[in-house]
Amino acid sequence: MLGDIYFEANTAMHDLVPLNLLGAGQSGYVRQILGDEAQVHRLHEMGLHGGQLVEMVQRGVPCIIRLDGSKICFRADEGTNVLVQPAHS
């Protein structure tokens, strides 16, 4: 699998969760995008990049997140390809 990785110095792999496991209203920082080149490219085209803060609007199918003020809808398999570090309030 290819992927786009963005880690900060204090981020450990055990701190990361699949995007689709965030609860509604929870936010997280994108740290890794996994998948084949076409999947990663599609997510980049949607505006999803490492280091960005995303908020879960709706869990399930479809999964809807808020990114830079816009809402983005994911198919079931795409949300599991994005690993986030949950943001702590």
pTM higher than 0.85, yes or no?
A: no
Q: How far apart are CA 49 and CA 70, in angstroms?
A: 14
pLDDT of residue 57: 97
Under a CB-based contact definition with an 8 Å cutoff, are residues 46 and 68 in contact? no
Under a CB-based contact definition with an 8 Å cutoff, are residues 29 and 51 in contact? yes
The stretch 41-57 carries a mean pLDDT of 91
The stretch 33-50 carries a mean pLDDT of 88
Under a CB-based contact definition with an 8 Å cutoff, are residues 21 and 89 in contact? no
Q: Cite the beta strand spans of the chain per DSSP E.
A: 2-5, 17-18, 27-35, 53-58, 63-67, 70-74, 82-86
Chain segment 52-70, per-residue pLDDT in tens: 999 999 998 888 999 999 9
Chain segment 23-36, per-residue pLDDT in tens: 999 999 999 998 88
Domains and CATH numbers, the chain: 2-86 (2.30.30.90)
